[in-house]
Amino acid sequence: MDKSRRKFLAASGVAVAGAALGGRINLAQAQTGHSGHNMGGMRGSHDGQMSGGMQQKTSRPKASPASGYAHPRGNDWYARTVDPDDTFPPGQPGKDYTPVVVPNGATLPFKIVDGVKVFHMVAEEFVHQFAPGFKAICWGYNGRFPGPVIEAVEGDVIRIYVTNKLSVPTSVHWHGLILPANMDGVANLSQPVIKPGETFRYEFKCIQHGTFMYHSHKDTMTQEGMGLVGMFIIHPRKPKRPRPDRDFVMLLHEMDIKPGTYRPDTTVAVGFNTLTMNGMVFPGIEPMVAKLNDKVRMRIGNLSAMDHHPIHLHGYAFRITETDGGEIPEAAQWPEVSVLVSVGQTRNIEFVADNPGDWAMHCHMTHHIMNQMGHGLPNMVGVDARVVNTSVGDLIPGYMTMGTKGMGEMGKHAAMMDIPENSIPMVGADGPYGYLGVGGMFTVFKVRADLESYDDPGWYNPPEGTLARTATAAELRKDGIKV
């Protein structure tokens, strides 16, 4: 780290996340980056600068984002509840919208200056933890991968400062937003690059509502791949339907981090081994919790490099209600149990949490619920391990043939074996009835009748007679089942 950079960091007070820039890995920092996921994204000095979204200023925005620019009106499917030329006081959380829930994540704080919501994003390098025992040097915003969720209300005028603390030029693209062409953030097409150390100012009016995203639009293979991504939520000014009780936001992403390494390999094009929901892999992903009969919305975005993800929710049929293009007319909403979220898309699903229990929710691509899966190995399934164990064990003490019965128990073994540092190959977690041999894009949706808070309520206790179990001999006999 050179002197000017050190000075710069000291002045801005964001030394913690920037320390990884020197190329040295300080994994102790990861905890700082991700402890307290409900802190609203406020870290370090940002607390001082940003007062959060709870100010009671209600003045109308003074600064119009642009003169000589007419808001687009040509397409009537833009999701709108008010006229884009109308002006409104900045939307207030709790009053104008129910804030979203971001498992393992945070929302970006703002302050209101002369009726404009002002945000500050810092693109930087830091150590990110994907799950206990697994960290890597990532890029992101405000020390987070994915960056904090930007939350606004239709009609808000927002101003976003983007400071580049990376060693490379960058830009931020507001994915799906309808805005003036030169606020769109495509480096060298809609704007010059944000050079290292520079702070850019974006300003526009939110003239639509829905689920959107943001991400770097400079060297996207590297920069998106390293984690410069985030979600952008705009709530409707005048909702046509009741607000959901639980409004979850989830961004899907993928990286390739070989066991024993500390940095995503963004040159990888297939066979990614780190499949993330909000930057985490199972068992690092927090469960989503709802009260019985809560109105639930899940907003799922995908900024993976190369993979679409069919996200499957157990125990429910839901409706796909919105895309990042707008609302789907009720008559056109498909009932579904899996929602395919392609790269560069968002999907909203909605349902009533009327079925209590612990429900798996995961990408249905089976390789996407594995952690750090190795590829190109000999296929060992069904191989007689005894003869191999004898001949190879004789040569290499401690050798054990693995994978002859598949991967189910491998994570459990890996925990006991000598494996490369900074890796959680195939690791899952203990479930209520045994080892959950899953990883990656897997989480649990927990619905309970009685909840005191939305904290993790623990494992579901099934009502009498609703737990699958071993059949008794009498039952088999009675039903004429021969085994």
The reply to whether 376 sits near another protein by the rule CB under 8 A is yes
CB of 383 to another protein, least distance (A): 4
CB of 464 to another protein, least distance (A): 41
The reply to whether 270 sits near another protein by the rule CB under 8 A is no
The reply to whether 361 sits near Cu ion by the rule CB under 5 A is no
Q: Which residues of 16-25 are buried (b: 16+ CB within 10 A; e: fewer)?
A: bbbbbbeeeb
Rounded distance between C-alpha atoms, residue 60 and residue 114, angstroms:
8
Burial status of residue 420 (CB atoms within 10 A of its CB: 0-12, 13-18, 19 or more): exposed
Q: What are the residues facing 311 on neighbouring strands?
A: 339, 363
Token pair 């990286």: residue: 255
**Spatial contact of 141 and 429, defined as CB atoms under 8 Å apart:** no
Which one of another protein, Cu ion, none interacts with residue 309, CB within 5 to 8 A by kind? Cu ion
Binding characters for another protein, 329-368, by CB under 8 A (x = yes)? ----------------------------------------
The reply to whether 419 sits near another protein by the rule CB under 8 A is yes
CB of 309 to Cu ion, least distance (A): 3
Rounded distance between C-alpha atoms, residue 205 and residue 152, angstroms:
10
The reply to whether 362 sits near Cu ion by the rule CB under 5 A is no
Rounded distance between C-alpha atoms, residue 11 and residue 28, angstroms:
23
Give the one residue of 420, 432, 458, 462 binding another protein; rule: CB under 8 A: 420
The reply to whether 309 sits near Cu ion by the rule CB under 5 A is yes
- Strand 210-216: give its sheet, edge to edge: 150-153, 229-235, 210-216, 172-175
The reply to whether 365 sits near Cu ion by the rule CB under 5 A is yes
Rounded distance between C-alpha atoms, residue 467 and residue 450, angstroms:
20
The reply to whether 467 sits near another protein by the rule CB under 8 A is no
Region near another protein per CB under 8 A, out of 49-57, 113-121, 202-210, 390-398: 390-398
In whole angstroms, how far apart are CA 218 and each of 22, 152, 188, 192, 308? 22, 25, 8, 10, 22
SS3 395: helix
CB of 225 to Cu ion, least distance (A): 16
CB of 307 to Cu ion, least distance (A): 5
Cβ closer to another protein: 81 or 389?
Answer: 389
Residue 253: which of 281, 233, 234 has the closest Cα? 281
Rounded distance between C-alpha atoms, residue 312 and residue 310, angstroms:
6
The reply to whether 408 sits near another protein by the rule CB under 8 A is no
CB of 391 to another protein, least distance (A): 4
Task: Return residues touching Cu ion (CB under 5 A).
Answer: 309, 363, 365, 368
Residues in contact with another protein by CB under 8 A are: 258-260, 372-374, 376-385, 387-388, 390-392, 394-396, 398-399, 401-403, 407, 410, 414, 417-420, 423, 425-426
